[in-house]
Every structure is written in C-alpha cells, then in structure tokens.
A and B are shown apart, each in its own frame.
Chain A
C-alpha cells in the first residue's frame, strides 16, 4: 500500500486522513472512498478504488490503535517504524499534522454505535417512475419505485446500493418498516 500512497497528491491525502479521523470520532458515518477516488482520478492520478480502500483501512487501523494506546505524535511516527522510510515525506507530514491537531481528541468506545458488525444505514434516496414503453411492450405504463441506500460498511467505507421495486413490493416494504418501528418502540 505504501507505494500507492505515493500516488495520492498531498491535499487529497490530507482530506482522506481528515475523513478517517472524523469517522473515528463519530462525526460522520463513514469515509466516502468512492467519491474521493473519483475526484483523485479526475485530477489525473491513476488509482483504483480497491487500492484507495486498502489505504483508508490501513490508516484507520493505525489511527484507532494509536488512540487506544494514547500515543503521542512522536510515538505514532515511531510506530510507523520501518514503514516511515518507504512512506513519502508528504504523507508522514500529513499524518504528523493531523495527529497533532486531532489525534488526542479521538473518543473511542463509550458508544453503543461503535460495534459495527454489519453495515450501518446512512441515507435513502428514492424515485417514483413509470416505464412507458420497452422493446417487449409498446405501451407499458408500469409504475415502479427505485431506491438507493447509502450504507457505511464495518470498515467505514460508504457505498451505495440501488434497486427497483414494483408497487405491491413497495407497499409490503413500507408495511414491514412500520412493523419494525413499532416493535422498536415497545422493546
């Protein structure tokens, strides 16, 4: 991963570290790797989302371990150990700076929401559409609901999942959620 870090321009690397720290602090639900990757690629850097995700995971682990052990900035840099010499200088600089500013403030644990074993729901976007025509039926008038769920997976990466429902499916979907809400009320 170290050689891929080399590719990321300093300001994007700083933004990545910022997002990771904010995620660890529960200020944001997750790191928007897909969106960040797109912007890095647009700036002309050839990096794929898999590599960026690995780097994000590594940094997240680094920061959360450092927080748990209450490491000072110098201790953190030392911990990077042999990795430091292969990490580009600007990356080490960013890590040092970010940790100095915000590292001590990371409030780990003491929060029920911290036990992420499955994806955490972040947001839902929807669209109600009517398919007018297709290659199989000239006159369709087929209503459907499209939903995009934004989910933060256990490692903190944010992904979108889109799918379609027929109207009867949607009505069932809605009914199930009302059920869940009422059960949540009563337990």
Chain B
C-alpha cells in the first residue's frame, strides 16, 4: 500500500469545489468502497457535481481512494497520524475536514475491508429441524429422531464480485454424529477461551 504522492494531494484540493461537506463525505465513502476497476465510472458520476474536467475527476477519485485505503491499511485511529500525511502547504480547513470524515468512518471501513478480504467460503446462514422417522417401506414402526441441517455457504466474495454464489449444503445428523460435532465444537470453544486468556 504505497503512500500518496504530491500529485495525489494536488488532486485532493479539487474537493474545495465541492458543493457541501456532505458531498465530500459521500465521495470519500464511495471512493473507499470502490474497487480500483470501478473508479473510472465513479469519476464520471462525480464530474458534474464538481464542475471539473473528466481527467481532474479521475485524479481526484484515485487520490481519495488511495488516501482512504492507506489510512485503513496502516490502521490509524488518531487524528495526528492522519494529519501528518498531508504536506505543509495543504489547505488547512480541507485537511481538517478530510481527517474528521476519515476518523468517523475508519472503524466501519476496517470491517468492510475484513469482510471482503480473501478467505475460504463463508457461512452465511444456518437452519435446522428435528424430525422423527416413524416408518418406511422396510420398517413399519420406529421412532428415530434425526436432525436436518442446512448451511448456506457463500463463495469467496472477492472472486464473485457483485454476484456472490451461495450454495446450500443439507446434511442429516443422527444423535451420534451430532454428539461428535458437539465434541469438536466444544474443543474449539475451549481453545478460544485459552487464547483469549493469554
């Protein structure tokens, strides 16, 4: 995650033409959330509101994206750390505004970054049901409790872009297999407590 160059800070001053502080706030959020590939279209949308050329809009959007992502990457939580990034001659009020906006958003942006980082497929939902099997073509009468579990698993968000693929895994568990599962889960819980206490 490279730090910003002079060109970036020059481009940021275009924000002085923004119609309102909320417009700046909105643009900051959009620039952070946008993946690099979508910055072009974002710049086109921002153009009219800022009354700048297409090229200037692109430079601005790119600079804002880099600034916000850099702050999240470094994990800055204090105003001083963010203020330090700006060059000496940068417009004071704009610098303060940007720092304020970034501080407001930094924690939710961090969560957003964590949610979209590479990972194995994630569990998104889980439903279950307990049934009793009372009879079948081979056994006239029985009372066998059984558990049906459906897990909804979402494939890696980074690979799927805006159309995440969710697959459903339906599994049947008997009392024995459920106990095996519980034992395994209990051990994870114990490990978690052990790690938390370190």
Q: List chain B residues, Cβ under 8 A from A116.
A: 172
- CB pair B123–A113 under 8 Å, yes or no, is no
Evaluate contact between A180 and B1: CB separation under 8 angstroms: no
Residues of A near B121 (CB, < 8 A) are 162-164
- Could you tell me the distance between the alpha carbons of A115 and B126 in the complex, rounded to whole angstroms? 23
Contacts of B184 in A (CB 8 A): 124-126
> B38 at the A/B interface (Cβ < 8 Å)?
no
Interface size class on chain B is 35 or more
CA distance A136 to B169 in the complex (A): 31
B100 part of interface (Cβ distance < 8 Å): no
Residues on A with C-beta less than 8 A from B173 are 121, 180
Q: Mark B150-188, 1 if CB is under 8 A from A, else 0.
A: 010100000000000000011111110111111011111
Q: A169-B123, A180-B147, A184-B130 are in contact. Are A137 and B72 (CB under 8 A)?
A: yes
CB distance from A80 to the nearest CB of B (A): 26
Interface residues of A in 134-187 (CB under 8 A from B): 134-140, 142-146, 149, 151, 161-165, 167, 169-174, 176-178, 180-181, 183-184, 187
Whether A187 contacts B123 in the complex (CB less than 8 A), given A121-B172, A177-B182, comes out as: no
| CA gap between A174 and B145 in the complex, in Å | 20
Determine which residue in A126, A139, A181 has the highest number of CB atoms from chain B within 10 A of its CB, and name it. A181
Say whether A119 contacts B178, CB under 8 Å.
Answer: no
Chain A: which residue is nearest B114 at the CB level?
A142
A-side interface residues, number (CB < 8 Å): 54
Q: Which of B130, B142, B195 contacts A183 (CB 8 A)?
A: B130
**Majority secondary structure, B binding face:** mixed
Closest to B136 in A: A115
**Whole-angstrom CA separation of A112 from B1 in the bound complex:** 58
The answer to whether A124 and B180 touch across the interface, beta carbons within 8 angstroms, is: yes
Partner-A contacts on B (CB < 8 A): 1, 69, 72-75, 110, 113-114, 116-123, 126, 128, 130, 132-133, 136, 138-139, 142, 144-145, 147-149, 151, 153, 169-175, 177-182, 184-189, 191-192, 195
Identify 4 new A-B residue pairs, CB closer than 8 A, beyond the known A134-B118, A149-B171, A173-B126.
A135-B73, A136-B116, A161-B153, A162-B121
Residue contacts A-B, CB under 8 angstroms, 12 given: A128-B192, A136-B73, A137-B72, A137-B75, A137-B117, A143-B192, A145-B188, A163-B121, A164-B121, A165-B122, A170-B185, A173-B123
